[in-house]
Every structure is written in structure tokens, then in C-alpha cells.
């Protein structure tokens, strides 16, 4: 990717908090679900942008553990949109060598939805161009607590000797996925909202007022350009300092 004739540094892993679907719909006098449906189109566009521009991992925050408290009609509609996405996009994802991984506590989902997710993951397991991680029924604190419980269980069995950062990471939902280089949040809010709390310790953050249904490939490119201008130090002294 280039900008102004100069090559842009592409992050390996981009995570996105897709915020603003409901507000987008309300501004147009539409039901909130219409905003979520439009948001699916932007998700499709973000996936295509990622594999065409060399991003290796894309994590989309689709539904949080807290979102279960929303009105039943909206929750059921979002679950149905997930199913539609898996069914409609699977052939295209497979053709473009996209691997799928869904992270989160999926136990509240209907059994048939969990089976569809497993089937899609199996169908796309050979993808080597982009790994798409969908965080659904996901919470960062809950993921950490889940990991601690698993470690405690191993401790009781006497199999743990040294609890290091690397060891702890093994108990996360996707230990094989590298930490995000860039986290984008749309919708104007400037908070993390319980997303990838362990993984974003040194992630670059980018906030935009653009509502998710309006987040086009051009907006995505601007976020990458902003990231490209930053110097990532990971606690070290920067150049010339």
C-alpha cells in the first residue's frame, strides 16, 4: 500500500471495535437492527481490505458478554446476522484463503448456531492469507478469569511449576494469535470496552468519530497511515531520545 508515493507500514494484526451501528440507524429513523445489517457490509469490506493489503490477522469485536443485556429482539437479530454472514461469505472466504476463528463464551448460543460456527471454522482451517478472528459473546475480563481458573485446575493436579506470561497466554481463547499492532474504535467513544485486555498492552490505539456503517476502505487506509507514522517503542527509548 502506498500514500503520496511512499510505502505505508502495514500492521500484521488489526483489531476493530465496530461501534455505532445503533446510532447510525437512529439518525436515519431506522430500527437498530438495520444499522447492524449495514455494519455487516462494512465488516465484509474490512476483511477484503485486509487480505488485499497484506494484513495477516483481523479481529472484529462483534458482540460482547455485556451485549446479552440488550433487548431480546436485537440480540436474536444479531445472532441471525452472524449465521447469515457465515453462510453467505464462506465460499468467498475460502476462495481468498481466509481462515476463521471465533473467540468468546459461545455456550449461551443455540446449539445449531455453535455447530454452524464449528463447521465454518473447519471449512476455512487451511486459509493462509488472512486469519479472521470474530469476538462474539466475548469479554476481556472474562477471558482472563477463564484462564486463571484453568491454571488453578492445573495447579491442583501438580502440573504447574512456573507461571510466566508465556504460560498464561496458553490459556487464552487464541494463544497462537499475535497481539494486535493496531486497535481501531469507530463511533467516537474513547475507551476499550473490555476488549482484549491482556493482548493490547502495547497496541497502538486509533479512535475515529466515524460510525461503523460509514467506515469505508478509505477510512481504514487513513487509520493505517496514522499507524505507519508512529514509532513503537515497547518501553524502550525511542530514536534520538
The residues assigned a catalytic role are 19, 67
Nearest CA to 178 out of 147, 149, 194, 202 is that of 202
The C-alpha cell 468467498 sits at 92
CB atoms within 10 A of CB 69: 8
Distance between CA atoms of residues 241 and 239, nearest Å: 5
For residue 111, CA distances in Å to 32, 50, 116, 118, 150 come to: 26, 31, 9, 11, 24
3-state secondary structure of 137: strand
- Distance from C-alpha of 66 to C-alpha of 188, rounded to nearest angstrom: 19
Query: What would the 3-class secondary structure string for 70-106 be?
Result: CCHHHHHHHHHHHHHHHHHHHHHHHHCCEEEEEECCC
The whole-angstrom separation of Cα 91 and Cα 98 is 10
B/e letters for 73-105, b = 16+ CB within 10 Å, e = fewer, are: eeeebbbebbbebbeebbeebbeeebbbbbbbb
Amino acid at each position: 500500500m502506498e500514500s503520496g508515493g511512499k510505502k505505508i507500514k502495514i500492521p500484521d494484526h488489526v483489531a476493530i471495535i465496530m461501534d455505532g451501528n445503533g446510532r447510525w440507524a437512529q439518525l436515519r429513523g431506522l430500527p437498530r437492527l438495520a444499522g447492524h445489517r449495514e455494519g455487516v457490509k462494512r465488516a465484509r469490506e474490512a476483511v477484503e481490505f485486509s487480505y488485499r493489503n497484506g494484513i495477516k490477522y483481523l479481529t472484529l469485536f462483534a458482540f460482547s458478554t455485556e451485549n446479552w443485556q440488550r433487548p431480546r429482539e436485537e440480540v436474536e437479530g444479531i445472532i441471525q446476522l452472524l449465521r447469515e454472514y457465515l453462510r453467505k461469505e464462506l465460499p468467498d472466504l475460502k476462495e481468498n484463503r481466509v481462515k476463521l476463528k471465533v473467540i468468546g463464551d459461545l455456550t449461551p448460543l443455540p446449539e445449531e448456531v455453535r455447530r454452524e460456527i464449528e463447521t465454518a471454522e473447519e471449512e476455512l482451517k487451511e486459509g493462509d492469507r488472512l486469519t479472521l478472528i470474530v469476538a462474539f459473546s466475548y469479554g476481556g475480563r472474562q477471558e482472563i478469569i477463564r484462564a486463571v481458573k484453568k491454571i488453578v485446575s492445573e495447579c491442583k493436579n501438580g502440573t504447574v511449576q512456573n507461571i510466566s506470561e508465556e504460560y498464561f497466554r496458553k490459556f487464552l481463547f487464541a494463544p497462537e494469535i499475535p497481539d494486535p499492532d493496531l486497535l481501531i474504535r469507530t463511533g467516537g467513544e474513547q475507551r476499550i470496552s473490555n476488549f482484549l485486555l491482556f493482548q493490547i498492552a502495547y497496541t497502538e490505539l486509533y479512535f475515529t468519530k466515524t460510525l461503523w456503517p460509514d467506515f469505508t476502505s478509505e477510512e481504514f487506509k487513513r487509520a493505517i497511515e496514522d499507524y505507519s507514522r508512529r514509532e513503537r517503542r515497547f518501553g524502550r527509548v525511542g530514536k534520538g531520545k
